[in-house]
């Protein structure tokens, strides 16, 4: 039995609605911005519970726009976590600021108790990541940000459909950035992203900057760039949003089965704690496993596709060599990077496939 990690072959099997709407779009020729974009942006803002939403090329752009809208750049520091997707750090560096890392905790999220130590006179913002579609302890982070008068930009790229006390990731900070990359919970047929905020002033800046700084065709208010989402993708996202709650429900059901069984393999396998009132998207279902590399080989040989997110924490990447970190600086993330395994948990898995996966992990540990 094959247990695929990649669910995309099943994701767009039912595409009649998308094609119908695309036909209308093509006839309208609204290929940049316009009605189809706004329709999606409004729907997403409503879903997330934010006042403003702007579609962008990708999640990385959404992060860059967020940072730039606050005027963060050269000489500024942004505190984030050392285990996240590369784009979190890439965006900070792209605006000219310096990323300052904090270790992760046992839920693979930024450890709020270590943030204070990372703050300097140059710190402008904290960028917490909803890593893997789980959320950090956002209330604690808000308290620190308030105490030090720092902004919060949430990297909620994997967090669409997650909740903390019924509130969406991306709505706790000043700005929230989301991605619709094919491997995120809300995905399009290529790249896409959104930035949300409740702040009118930031919203009007982002709206302009995303579109060349234009007020209208003949007048430029500031020099901007083109970071617009494609309306064709906005249509895909519009219909994707209709299914997101169902997707998250199934993934949570699958994750619960895995949690309940795999926790029996302690201490060889560690399942992370699930916090009360936190709903996760399970963009990544991650556990810590002894003899990780052998387990990964074993499972892949059984056609169970598992991944590692990631084998090298960001402070030890070559790209970080000018930041002054060394091995041992972030012991939790470093240990996790040698034990992490990401299992398939997506909405197209059958009960048989999930059981097959569990049986094989049990078989590996004898």
Ligand X SMILES: *Cc1c(COP(=O)(O)O)cnc(C)c1O
Please give the full DSSP string across 197-211, using - where no structure is assigned.
Answer: ES-HHHHHHHHHHTB
For residues 99 and 193, which CB has a smaller minimum distance to ligand X in the complex? 193
For residues 84 and 109, which CB has a smaller minimum distance to ligand X in the complex? 84
- Does position 59 bind ligand X by CB under 6 A? yes
For residues 156 and 203, which CB has a smaller minimum distance to ligand X in the complex? 156
Task: State the sign of the Cα–Cα–Cα–Cα dihedral 137, 142, 148, 152.
Answer: positive
Q: Which of residues 137-176 bind ligand X (CB under 6 A)?
A: 155, 157-158
For residues 133 and 224, which CB has a smaller minimum distance to ligand X in the complex? 133
Q: Which of 44, 85, 172, 282 binds ligand X (CB under 6 A)?
A: 85
For residues 98 and 362, which CB has a smaller minimum distance to ligand X in the complex? 98
Q: What span, in angstroms and rounded, lies between the C-alpha atoms of 287 and 303?
A: 19
Q: Which of 45, 58, 125, 361 binds ligand X (CB under 6 A)?
A: 58
Q: Which of 76, 191, 261, 334 binds ligand X (CB under 6 A)?
A: 191
User: How do 52-56 and 193-197 pair as beta strands?
Assistant: antiparallel
Stretch that binds ligand X, among 83-91, 161-169, 224-232, 246-254 (CB under 6 A): 83-91
Minimum distance from CB of 309 to ligand X (Å)? 9
Contact 255, 280 (CB under 8 A): yes
Task: State the sign of the Cα–Cα–Cα–Cα dihedral 240, 243, 249, 254.
Answer: negative
What's the distance, CA 2 to chain centroid?
27
- Does position 88 bind ligand X by CB under 6 A? yes
Q: What span, in angstroms and rounded, lies between the C-alpha atoms of 8 and 132?
A: 18
For residues 155 and 280, which CB has a smaller minimum distance to ligand X in the complex? 155
Q: Which of 68, 181, 210, 302 binds ligand X (CB under 6 A)?
A: 181
Q: Which residue has the tokens 């450890």?
A: 111
Considering CB under 6 A, how many residues would be counted as binding ligand X?
15
Q: What span, in angstroms and rounded, lies between the C-alpha atoms of 261 and 271?
A: 10
- Does position 185 bind ligand X by CB under 6 A? no
Minimum distance from CB of 320 to ligand X (Å)? 16
- Does position 186 bind ligand X by CB under 6 A? no
- Does position 84 bind ligand X by CB under 6 A? yes
Can you read off the two tokens belonging to residue 291?
Answer: 């003899």
Separation in Å, CA 152 to CA 43, 44, 167, 244, 357: 24, 21, 16, 26, 39
For 81, the enclosing helix (H) or strand (E) is strand 77-81
- Does position 87 bind ligand X by CB under 6 A? yes
Minimum distance from CB of 156 to ligand X (Å)? 8
For 154, the enclosing helix (H) or strand (E) is strand 151-155
Minimum distance from CB of 88 to ligand X (Å)? 5
Task: Select the residue whose beta carbon is closest to ligand X and give its number.
Answer: 59
Minimum distance from CB of 115 to ligand X (Å)? 17
Q: What span, in angstroms and rounded, lies between the C-alpha atoms of 105 and 82?
A: 11
Minimum distance from CB of 65 to ligand X (Å)? 12
CB atoms within 10 A of CB 278: 18
Q: What span, in angstroms and rounded, lies between the C-alpha atoms of 38 and 55?
A: 9
Minimum distance from CB of 56 to ligand X (Å)? 8
Separation in Å, CA 64 to CA 40, 50, 181, 348: 21, 19, 16, 33
- Does position 129 bind ligand X by CB under 6 A? yes
Per-residue mark of binding to ligand X, 270-309 (x: CB under 6 A) = ----------------------------------------
- Does position 347 bind ligand X by CB under 6 A? no
Determine phi and psi for 127, rounding to 5 degrees: -115, 85
Residues making contact with ligand X (CB under 6 A): 58-60, 84-85, 87-88, 129, 155, 157-158, 179, 181, 191, 193
């Amino acid at each position: 039995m094959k247990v695929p990690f990649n669910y995309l072959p099943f994701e767009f099997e039912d595409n009649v609605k998308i094609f119908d709407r695309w036909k209308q779009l093509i006839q309208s020729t609204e290929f940049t911005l316009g009605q189809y974009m706004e329709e999606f942006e409004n729907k997403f803002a409503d879903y997330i519970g934010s006042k403003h939403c702007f579609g962008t090329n990708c999640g990385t752009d959404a992060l860059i726009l967020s940072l730039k809208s606050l005027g963060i750049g050269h000489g500024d520091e942004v505190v984030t976590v050392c285990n996240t997707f590369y784009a979190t750090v890439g965006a900070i560096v792209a605006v000219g600021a310096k990323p300052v890392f904090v270790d992760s905790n046992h839920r693979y999220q930024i450890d709020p108790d270590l943030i204070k130590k990372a703050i300097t006179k140059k710190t402008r913002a904290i960028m917490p990541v909803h890593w893997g579609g789980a959320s950090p302890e956002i209330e604690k982070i808000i308290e620190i940000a308030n105490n030090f008068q720092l902004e919060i930009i949430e990297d909620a790229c994997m967090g669409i459909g997650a909740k903390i006390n019924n509130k969406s990731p991306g709505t706790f900070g000043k700005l929230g950035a989301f991605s619709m990359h094919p491997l995120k919970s809300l995905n399009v047929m290529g790249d896409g992203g959104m930035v949300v905020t409740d702040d009118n002033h930031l919203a009007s800046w982002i709206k302009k900057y995303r579109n060349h700084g234009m007020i209208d065709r003949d007048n430029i208010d500031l020099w901007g760039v083109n970071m617009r989402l494609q309306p064709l993708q906005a249509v895909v996202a519009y219909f994707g949003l209709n299914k997101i709650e169902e997707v998250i429900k199934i993934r949570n059901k699958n994750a619960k089965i895995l949690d309940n069984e795999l926790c029996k393999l302690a201490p060889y396998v560690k399942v992370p704690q699930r916090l009360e009132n936190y709903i996760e998207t399970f963009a990544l279902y991650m556990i810590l496993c002894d003899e990780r590399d052998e387990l990964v080989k074993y499972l892949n040989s059984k056609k169970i596709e598992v991944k590692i997110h990631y084998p090298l924490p960001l402070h030890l990447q070559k790209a970080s060599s000018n930041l002054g970190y060394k091995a041992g600086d972030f012991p939790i993330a470093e240990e996790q990077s040698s034990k992490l395994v990401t299992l398939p948990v997506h909405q197209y898995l059958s009960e048989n496939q999930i059981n097959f996966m569990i049986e094989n992990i049990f078989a590996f540990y004898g």
